[in-house]
Amino acid sequence: MQTLNLIPGHLTQDQLRQIRSEAVRVSLPEDVWQQVRESHESLKAVVQRGAPAYGINTGFGKLAKTQVDVADLSTLQHNLIRSHAAGVGEPLAPRIVRLAMILKLLSLARGYSGVRPQVIEHFISMLSENILPVIPEKGSVGASGDLAPLAHLSLPLIGEGEVVFKGDRLPAAQALQSAGLNPLTLEAKEGLALLNGTQISAALAIEGLFAAEQNLGSAIVIGAIAVDAALGSYVPFDARIHKARGQSGQVRVARLYRGLLDNSELNRSHADCDRVQDPYCLRCQPQILGACLDQLDHGVKILLREANAVSDNPLLCPDTGEVLSGGNFHAEPVAMVADNIALAIAETGSLSERRVAMLIDSSISELPPFLTRNAGLESGFMVAHVTAAALASENKSLAHPASVDSLPTSANQEDHVSMATFAARRLHTMNENTRQILAVEYLAASQGISLRRPLTSSTGVESALQHLRDHVPEYMNDRVFYPDIEKAALLIHQGRLAELLPMPLLDTVLD
């Protein structure tokens, strides 16, 4: 297990990718620990003064005006975590939980929350032992933070709740004991600092973003296969067209198509044809997928900021020790960017479905009907396209903005919420749907190339085709279709197509 040396406030995209892909240990610089200790001393001074300070010596939400005795401050924090652990549904995936834990400890380590170093150390120890809390996927409205899921994330720190440890789901107390760790007794504000935050929504959105990036990269490669399968023109990818418009994503995507399609015998074979313009699903790929890329580029900027953010409330001002009550827990930035990512995912799949429809329509593609040599006796890709259409339609419904919805909670104290957790969580389903649509197109476009033999395509397209043919043979007759879709989708999921691009699509760094 590799150790990541992380600096709170300076988490990078590469580090996020690594956390997503594997279990890691975490270490923090010594100066970070010093600022955590100083923040805790500021909190102790607030407690000693005795003046009402939200969440430190008062109740929560609508109960904020109820002051709590000093002797009960620890009980207050434990009660908060227990009562807020009210999530439902299937557990979040381990990679989401791991990322959320790291985002939470980095936020606490910024020195605005007043927690003791032991709280952060406990998270680091759990990560080192690969002890991951069981967090139900549903129950957060994204303000005041991801309360319910973060309560489930925090329960194991006090020896309660459940965890996954060495492949087993078991009581947290048992796992901690096996790993030689002792539960914490929380002190003033620590429970609130653990629960206030956007770390679950952010982790889900980051996962959705990277999966969308992989799908978009795969879509560009598969779209290039479709261009040659349909004997499409390369003129729409001419750099002069895209320079004239100046949209960054469009320019970049067109450049990728030019690289993928370079030196194709199939393209040269129809250089003098009478076709004037191709259907939009071929001709407008840089414009459509470029717009999707721009949305993902925007998403990585917002989510990098959120991954490095302090989303606790109240905050302890490091310079003055003041207690500042605000609303950094409100996950509207995450909700809105997740909505935009959803649009990009839906459009990526929608365009792919349209290319499948074009390929199986012999009047447009000039390929055999439904890509079969024995149309009528055989149905070929007829119902594989129906599957793609069903998934594309489902994604259109899922792409409805979540951030425009709001339901007041906590007796109208929390009267506007972001719905960021659902906005981000549905990205997984949408990415799965788009991956399956792309799998159908991968099969269809590759079959189209096979039907054009002996002519060959470009090096990039032939490489993508060979990846598929290593697992899925050409269609000579009808056969059971779903295993082929599964194999093609797995290749996409493994990144075998996206890796044919010269670099990851998202190369933005935190500004």
Per-residue model confidence as pLDDT tens digits over 323-345 = 999 999 999 999 999 999 999 99
Which pLDDT tens digit goes with each residue over 451-490? 999 999 999 999 999 999 999 999 999 999 999 999 999 9
Res 266 pLDDT > 90: yes
Domains of the chain: 2-197 (1.10.275.10), 204-312+341-407+414-500 (1.20.200.10)
Q: Is 475 a catalytic residue?
A: no
Residue 411 has pLDDT above 70, yes or no: no
Q: What is the pLDDT of residues 53-78, one digit of tens each?
A: 888 888 887 777 888 898 999 999 99
- The pLDDT value given to residue 507: 67
Taking a C-beta distance cutoff of 8 angstroms, is the pair 57, 75 a contact? no
Q: How sure is the predictor about 511, in pLDDT bands with cuts at 50, 70 and 90?
A: very low
What's the rounded Cα separation, in Å, for the pair 148 and 74? 19
pLDDT > 50? residue 510: no
pLDDT 10s digits, 273-294: 777 799 999 999 999 999 999 9
Residue-wise pLDDT for 168-188, tens only, equals 999 999 999 999 999 999 999
Half-sphere exposure of 220 (CA within 13 A, CB side): 37
C-alpha span between 308 and 9 (Å, rounded): 4
Q: How many CA atoms lie within 13 A of 389 on its CB side?
A: 10
Phi and psi based region of residue 181 (left: phi greater than 0; alpha: psi -120 to 50; beta: remaining): beta
3-state secondary structure of 27: strand
- Determine the 3-state secondary structure of 165 from DSSP: strand
pLDDT tens digits for range 360-406: 999 999 999 999 999 999 999 999 999 999 999 999 999 999 999 88
Give the start-end residues of each E strand in 234-386.
Answer: 315-316, 323-324
Cα–Cα distance, 100 to 22 (Å, whole number): 14
Sign of CA pseudo-dihedral 370, 372, 375, 380: negative
Does this model's pTM top 0.75? My answer is yes
Catalytic pick from 54, 112, 234, 280? 54
341: number of Cβ within 10 Å:
30
What is the average per-residue pLDDT within 196-225? 98
